[in-house]
């Protein structure tokens, strides 16, 4: 049988469809509708940087412009429809997936204990019971409410006091849940007090094989096509070895087939997909031409190498790069139009001035910043003011950096 080849346009259509970026950005963005969107994406990454809006808020807004941050807070903290844990980074995840994090919690328990013992967190294990007793007796706490009298440094993650480290370890390994955030500071409570026993009981957790199958299958559903490495990286608690074995087993059972994906530069890449991908409805649907600004941590972009292969878009976030050495800016947003990433924009909300300031925009090579495209961009920026909490837009002199 001939190997299926997806050209670059086909691959983009499938990929954007799986990331809810193919259809026009519209629809309800509260309660069950918002939860359904997060389930479709798998999870939403959390990030503290708030130049325009926090990453999780922009991720949801870019797909549902009626979204407001209060809706996510309600879903997470009041409805308990989401839980917080790690994928490749901190994320909010549908509560129905909680049992499948048992393997991750087990692996974190072993890995972090050894790593943190060797990383200047002396005494954190001795704080476990004290921290648990405090929460049991006095209710949810933040890191600033534990470890009274312990030496505190600059406050960075590398400078945690022992009780802060204990909190994080007990959360990552399952004894605690994060029940919400004040500002961006996590609040922790006893898992047994937050979740039903049927959800959090380790004895009822899916076994190893079931978890690996769920992780790899769920990753493929949300990527459309993938290598074993991309499957393993999606939730980030399945190993490459486990993902490779899953692909081999699923291919032998006829539930997976090898495909060749053509990159933006014409380079072929071997991947796996479901056998029915050749008839996928997304192949017949042209992505909306609606221009939209994406978060640097958007699910479609978090794998920078994959984004570069599919879209020819070379993106590196420069928040940790000294200002004088930045190519673009501190926190630059990709701009999507149809199935192309057409620009990147540096902008910031100054809430004390009630203004969203557009500092600079760089069109991608071979993208002409026409009057129509400029009008579409300005309309999108105006929509973003609702999320940013300001009412007006201002453009710096020389903001358009077109050649």
**What are 47's two structure tokens?**
């990030």
Give, for 60, the enclosing helix (H) or strand (E).
helix 55-61
Asked if 333 contacts 293 with a C-beta cutoff of 8 angstroms, the reply is yes
Give, for 303, the enclosing helix (H) or strand (E).
none
**What are 227's two structure tokens?**
């290598």
pLDDT for the residue 222? 97
pLDDT for the residue 288? 95
pLDDT for the residue 159? 61
pLDDT, tens only, 134-171: 999 999 999 889 987 665 555 555 567 888 999 999 99
Sheet of 268-273, strand order: 4-6, 257-262, 268-273
Helix (H, G, I), strand (E, B) or coil at 83: strand
77-91, 104-118, 300-314, range with the lowest pLDDT: 104-118
Mean model confidence pLDDT for the chain: 94
pLDDT for the residue 154? 52
Query: Over the range 140-175, which residues count as b (16 or more CB within 10 Å of their CB) and which as e?
Result: bbebebbbeeeeeeeeeeeebbbbbbbbbbbbbbbb
Tell me the average pLDDT across 56-61: 98
pLDDT for the residue 149? 67
- Comparing 161 with 326, which gets the higher pLDDT? 326
> Is it the case that residue 271 has pLDDT exceeding 60?
yes
pLDDT, tens only, 352-388: 999 999 999 999 999 999 999 999 999 999 999 999 9
Q: Which domains does the chain have, with CATH numbers?
A: 1-287 (no CATH), 316-395 (3.40.630.30)
- Beta-bridged to residue 176, according to DSSP, are 190
């Amino acid at each position: 049988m001939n190997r299926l080849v997806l050209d670059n346009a086909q691959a983009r259509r499938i990929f954007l469809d799986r990331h809810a970026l193919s259809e026009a950005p519209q629809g309800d963005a509260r309660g069950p509708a918002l939860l359904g969107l997060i389930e479709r994406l798998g999870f939403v990454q959390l990030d503290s940087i708030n130049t325009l809006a926090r990453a999780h808020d922009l991720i949801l807004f870019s797909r549902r412009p009626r979204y407001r941050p209060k809706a996510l807070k309600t879903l997470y903290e009041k409805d308990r429809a989401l839980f917080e844990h790690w994928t490749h980074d901190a994320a909010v995840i549908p509560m129905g997936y909680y049992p499948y994090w048992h393997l991750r919690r087990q692996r974190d328990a072993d890995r972090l204990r050894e790593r943190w013992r060797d990383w200047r967190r002396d005494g954190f294990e001795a704080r476990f019971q004290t921290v648990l007793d405090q929460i049991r007796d006095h209710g949810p706490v933040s890191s600033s409410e534990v470890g009274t009298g312990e030496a505190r440094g600059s406050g960075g993650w590398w400078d945690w006091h022992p009780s802060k480290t204990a909190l994080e370890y007990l959360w990552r390994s399952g004894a605690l849940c994060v029940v919400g955030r004040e500002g961006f500071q996590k609040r922790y409570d006893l898992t047994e007090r937050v979740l039903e026993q049927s959800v959090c009981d380790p004895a009822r957790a899916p076994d190893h094989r079931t978890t690996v199958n769920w992780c790899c299958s769920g990753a493929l559903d949300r990527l459309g096509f993938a290598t074993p490495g991309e499957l393993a990286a999606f939730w980030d608690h399945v190993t490459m070895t486990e993902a490779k074995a899953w692909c081999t087993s699923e291919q032998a059972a006829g539930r997976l087939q090898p495909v060749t994906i053509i990159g933006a530069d014409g380079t072929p890449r071997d991947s796996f997909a479901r056998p029915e991908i050749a008839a996928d409805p997304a192949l017949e649907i042209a992505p909306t031409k609606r221009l939209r600004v994406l978060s640097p941590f958007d699910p479609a972009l978090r794998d920078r190498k994959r984004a570069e292969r599919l879209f020819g878009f070379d993106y590196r976030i420069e928040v940790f790069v000294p200002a004088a050495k930045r190519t673009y800016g501190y926190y630059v947003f990709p701009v999507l139009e149809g199935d192309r990433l057409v620009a990147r924009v540096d902008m910031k909300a100054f809430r004390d001035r009630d203004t969203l300031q557009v500092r600079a925009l760089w069109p991608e090579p071979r993208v002409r910043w026409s009057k129509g495209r400029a009008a579409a961009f300005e309309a999108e920026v105006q929509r973003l003011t609702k999320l940013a909490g300001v009412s007006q837009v201002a453009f710096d002199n020389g903001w358009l950096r077109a050649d």
